[in-house]
Structure 1
Amino acid sequence: MSRHHPYLLGEASDSPFPPAELALREPDGLLAVGGDLSPVRLLNAYAGGIFPWFSHGQPLLWWSPAPRMVFHTKQLHLSSRFRRSLRASPWQIRADTAFPEVMLACAQAPRPGQDGTWITPDMHHAYVALHHLGHAHSVEVYEAEKLVGGIYGVAIGRMFFGESMFSARSGGSKVALAALAATLARWGWPLIDAQVENPHLVRMGATHLGRAEFLQHVRRLAHEPGKIGSWAPYFGDIPASTLARPAAP
């Protein structure tokens, strides 16, 4: 692979990705171009620490930036003030009950400094297909039956790759992320990939991993037994008020 150009992927959905170690420094993390968004291609990408990210009108671009932002599932931070606000919260948290709706809400959520969304109709279709196969999951926050927050991502083995989250009520995405992290911690899943840094994630405890360390974790965790299929039975209905308690050390 050239030092200045991304790798051109083969047409077959199972054609291999180059090692993520070969990602460009400028633009940071760009690794490959082309291919498709088939389930096989997406699963191979994530298992190698790679994800698709492109805007409308661009070719399909694949990335593996460094350093990588991650959450250690036992160390996600909610402020004491926010925890207190959850004590009387009527919100309920579920999983895999509204995956397409969570994706659509993430696509429509305004993002500072961004014009439009990378969650194109093709991306929506591809991840919904991955969800139906039991590999993509959403966590939803409900007020009665109204969706007020959520997060979605991809799970391979014991590794969760966060893709996007949204809030229709203040704090909705925080609650979704906190419930996801707490549940994954109970399952013994140590990391959530948060991809690239932003101040909101840092305030909640996201930290950097260098590329070599991140890929070492991903390649190990992706080959361990995971949970394929709907996560709805594992979550049930979790009262948001339970998140008011400090996390166990």
Structure 2
Amino acid sequence: MIQLQKDEISFPDPAFYHPIGGLIAQGGDLSVDRVLLAYQHGIFPWYNPGEKILWWCPDPRFVLFPDELKISKSMRKIMARDSFRFTENRCFAEVMQQCKNTNRKDQNDTWISDELIETFVQLHNKGIAKSVEVWQNDELVGGFYGLQIGDVFCGESMFSKVSNASKAGFIYFVSEHQHELSLIDCQVYTDHLKSLGARMISKIDYLYYLKSTL
């Protein structure tokens, strides 16, 4: 495993480095420049509290092509009812905080630290990190956030306070931006996103899409 130094912002090229499990490097910091460089190279931070920062580029990669979005009959009915209202970039930091505070199955802690939130808020202020908010009766009930690298959206985390809120937000986002985005990076497999049409592609293919957009 590559050990990163805080005084040098660089990463090994994941196209030529193939560790088991996709763990590319550890260490470094969560500075704006380093985090942005990581995503531009298909790498993202994911680690437990108290650990050194771990940087990943899994193979295969879980992604969704916008034109492959699947909307079930039940979700079409929910969307048609206008049960939810959607906004973008209205309250980015709050969306991250809600994602941090969400209890997840088989997960006691979160990788979303206060330091990571601070970095992503700075990236949001630069127009790179973005959020989608889902509202019901003027209450924030769901949402997600990520980074947009060219025409690839790198999804990070989502939350729901009511049933189907984050799924509705994702459907809204993909439908609204399907002509602007070539790919949505979902990083690792979840049943939730598979039901919406996400699938595995090779790491090399993912890096090709990412490189072609820079």
Q: CA RMSD in A?
A: 1.2
TM-score by length of 1: 0.82
Is residue 2:150 matched to residue 1:150?
no
The one-letter amino acid paired with 1:215 is L
* Equivalenced residues, count: 213
Select which of 24, 47, 50 maps to 2:43. Answer: 50
**What whole-Å deviation, never above 9, does each CA across 1:91-110 have from its counterpart, x for those lacking one?**
21110001011111111112
Which protein shows a greater Rg? 1
Paired residues of 2:159 and 2:166 also in contact (CA < 8 A): yes
Select which of 190, 210, 214 maps to 1:198. Answer: 190
Q: After TM superposition, where is structure 1 displaced by more than 4 Å over at least 4 residues in a row?
A: none
Instruction: Using the TM superposition, give the Cα deviation of residue 41 of structure 1 relative to its aligned residue in structure 2, in angstroms.
Output: 0.6
Is residue 2:33 matched to residue 1:40?
yes
Alignment correspondent of 2:109 = 116
Alignment correspondent of 1:160 = 153
Is residue 2:7 matched to residue 1:12?
yes
Paired residues of 1:55 and 1:120 also in contact (CA < 8 A): no
Distance 1:71 1:111 in 2: 22
Gapped runs of 5+ residues in structure 2?
none
Alignment correspondent of 2:125 = 132
SS in 1 for 2:107: coil
Instruction: Using the TM superposition, give the Cα deviation of residue 10 of structure 1 relative to its aligned residue in structure 2, in angstroms.
Output: 2.8
TM-score by length of 2: 0.95
Distance 1:109 1:51 in 2: 20
Paired residues of 1:23 and 1:63 also in contact (CA < 8 A): no
**What whole-Å deviation, never above 9, does each CA across 1:162-209 have from its counterpart, x for those lacking one?**
00011111111011111211122132x111000000111111111001
Identity %, equivalent residues: 37
Deviates further, 61-70 or 79-88: 79-88
Alignment correspondent of 2:162 = 169
Distance 2:164 2:97 in 1: 18
